[in-house]
Structure 1
């Protein structure tokens, strides 16, 4: 073997070794915070006098092993995947769309009010299609003001999208209690879309076909951002806006498009939740899915396929946690405590990784 061939072989082995180490690092960065959050949450449960093994046992049993619990878990994934897809688009483009909860809830309320009104005049498939389109449009429209301020005035979108979330949640409650209220009920809520007119179930289960919509959306977003010229443009804008301008990209227009796609997916999630699961919206209802999905998307490193796995794990925790809370006497919002600890662990992991990289240089 010649010296040149040996050098080339050594370089190839070095690249492969480096690629393996990078994959191991990414897996550790993704799973480390999850295991850390489980352990820390277990310590919190111990401090509350609850057996963490029993709690997590109920979570796994009711959210994964039990057939009805598993079907509820898969149904819960539908809107969460759509929200995750919207966040991936925004974050990869360097935009912090934190207004997903407002976009989700406002779209849900409008679709919940519109659906029962359309049923007497249109076939079910058309009602569902119109509902999905309206939900996406409402979400996109609610992001218009933050998009314009970001694109043409450079206003920080974190502030504007959070403000629009508060406004959207409040406005949605006003609509439910006043304009869209079902006069036939004593509790403030919209009219109910009957089960027969909702999204069809998958096979002979209770799993809503919203799961398929969510899976298709997040895989399409992944391919869009990694395999198309438009996705490359958005990633360039997110990586370096100045370089994007010098490259001749229309940054304001791309910013507007990013907001529209991200918010439309959040609005579509609201429509899927109503037409696939809830059927109506009650006053003061706000599941706050969007801010909960943010750490899941970061753990997945903005990868669509990895996001599916993390959304599934969170859905198991969410559905199983409801049963575990009843059986162990833990408050229902303990799942949010786990998510908060997960955020802290994610921040610590990122900090340690940055320190390691700095020391390596």
Structure 2
């Protein structure tokens, strides 16, 4: 390429960069997929004979503008935020922990079984709740040990092992509910129900569970840990370039196990918060599948803790409002999951178009 041609290409690249700055690109690939998914969801609603504007307006009205709906939305955010924090730790370290659903549910079942017994034994409520949260985190972390060891010492793909352990965790949780932890006083298979007065306290005389505060504190702490501390820098280095981490003198196996322990522990803590703050018990065959549902949200937020808070709020509002809209407008109750699926598709498409534009700009 001659010098005039090189100059022309450089000038063109500069013009393109000015026309589409970095913040605009980040905004487009973070918010664009959300609006695209909502638009595609609207088309599906039209095909079902439902006015999409009426559906979305009803979701906003019931989940945000209504005091009771807003309280339900904020309460539901607690477990979602902890799941998001779990995924941020893993993904920023280059590890795919897709076993959060098993870690969540197994921890939830054991906390649901242990906490009523401790409450009945006369333990102070705050100690009872603290122990319940610790139990949830420990159970989640322990369930992540096997994939961690297989990844750290044998290099086995963690996507396969965490998904398998998730399946086993969900199955084991259901067996425990139906056999070892079954409440004999109910006809429907479930664990004993924790009394309302023994659950996480409400905030400021509202119906919002203090699990929201737990989720907010943890996700902000995780964001600061991953971006402002030397430990977080080591984890990110392992994820970005394991060979460089080895040359820098870092113990990749130990850091890999640490990532799994933190990520799985937070998923287990999410299960404890959901039980102690909202559910009170676990029914047989219950699996909300929060972990896989939150994956596109943290990617839309670019693995940023503060951005994840915003997306978790929007998704919580969609699930709460969607339940009401389903009853009023005749929309299937799982339509919010359709929106999540569309988010995954539009997010992947946005990433593809962004990389294609990046290569074109370079050339």
Query: TM-score by structure 1 length?
Result: 0.95
Offset, 1:18: 6.5
Match of 2:32 in 1: 32
Uncovered stretches (5+) of structure 1, i.e. residues with no partner? 1-13
Alignment of 1:126-165 (within 5 A): 126-165=127-166
Secondary structure of 1:314's partner? Answer: helix
Query: Superposition RMSD on alpha carbons, in Å?
Result: 1.1
Q: CA separation in 2, counterparts of 1:274 and 1:144? A: 23
Match of 1:177 in 2: 178
- Are 1:196 and 2:197 counterparts? yes
Offset, 1:20: 8.3
Match of 2:229 in 1: 228
4+ long deviations beyond 2 Å: 17-20
Offset, 1:28: 1.0
Match of 2:5 in 1: none
Secondary structure of 1:284's partner? Answer: coil
Q: CA separation in 2, counterparts of 1:321 and 1:337? A: 11
Offset, 1:19: 12
Offset, 1:156: 0.2
Match of 2:352 in 1: 351
- Are 1:86 and 2:86 counterparts? yes
- Are 1:111 and 2:111 counterparts? yes
Offset, 1:221: 0.2
Offset, 1:120: 2.5
Alignment of 1:316-355 (within 5 A): 316-355=317-356
Q: CA separation in 1, counterparts of 2:23 and 2:254? A: 35
Match of 2:285 in 1: 284
For 1:161-201, what per-residue CA distance to the aligned partner results, in whole angstroms no more than 9, with x for missing partners?
00011000000000000000000001000000010000000
Offset, 1:261: 0.2
Paired residues in the alignment total 346
Secondary structure of 2:88's partner? Answer: helix
Secondary structure of 2:333's partner? Answer: coil
Match of 2:253 in 1: 252
Match of 2:8 in 1: none
For 1:195-239, what per-residue CA distance to the aligned partner results, in whole angstroms no more than 9, with x for missing partners?
000000001110000000000000000000000000000000010
> Closer, same or farther in 2 for the Cα pair 1:131/1:355, shift >3 Å?
same
Secondary structure of 2:21's partner? Answer: helix
Q: CA separation in 2, counterparts of 1:36 and 1:189? A: 40
Match of 1:9 in 2: none
Match of 1:208 in 2: 209
> Closer, same or farther in 2 for the Cα pair 1:183/1:53, shift >3 Å?
same
Secondary structure of 2:120's partner? Answer: coil
For 1:231-283, what per-residue CA distance to the aligned partner results, in whole angstroms no more than 9, with x for missing partners?
00000001001111111100000000000000000000000000000000000
Secondary structure of 1:119's partner? Answer: helix
Q: CA separation in 2, counterparts of 1:209 and 1:19? A: 45
Secondary structure of 1:155's partner? Answer: coil
Q: CA separation in 2, counterparts of 1:302 and 1:62? A: 29
> Closer, same or farther in 2 for the Cα pair 1:68/1:159, shift >3 Å?
same
Match of 2:9 in 1: none
For 1:102-145, what per-residue CA distance to the aligned partner results, in whole angstroms no more than 9, with x for missing partners?
00000000000001000133110011000000000000000000
Query: TM-score by structure 2 length?
Result: 0.94
Q: CA separation in 2, counterparts of 1:193 and 1:221? A: 30
